[in-house]
Amino acid sequence: MKLKKLLEINAMCEEQQGGHKESIPWDVQESFDYDSNNLGLIDILEMDIVHFVRAFKLLNKKTIDYNLNAVRPSKVALNLIAGKLHIAVNELEEYINND
């Protein structure tokens, strides 16, 4: 079942339970394209719920992986920093010993 239809059903159910009409929030009704590997660009409201959940999980994993990699410097970067610190320490020792 498509997300758009599920949102409509949800609004109807809330209207019946609460006695007042719950409209779907405007920001949820807006079209938003998802770039699917299999289908290309697709409006998320036209996605099947299973496809949407899979896409959400995939995007969430990519975000987590990106954030982990962005926070952790690479081994190459750490080795470069360590090398520069070692050079700086040697230069300081030479400066101190020459005075």
pTM of the model: 0.53
CA of residue 76 relative to chain centroid, distance: 26
Under 8 Å CB-to-CB from 13, ≥6 apart: which residues? none
Provide the token pair at 29.
Answer: 């009704």
pLDDT tens across 5-55, in order? 888 888 888 776 665 566 777 788 788 888 888 888 989 899 889 988 988
CA of residue 99 relative to chain centroid, distance: 55
By 3-state DSSP, what share of the chain in percent is helix, strand and coil, each rounded to 5?
70, 10, 20
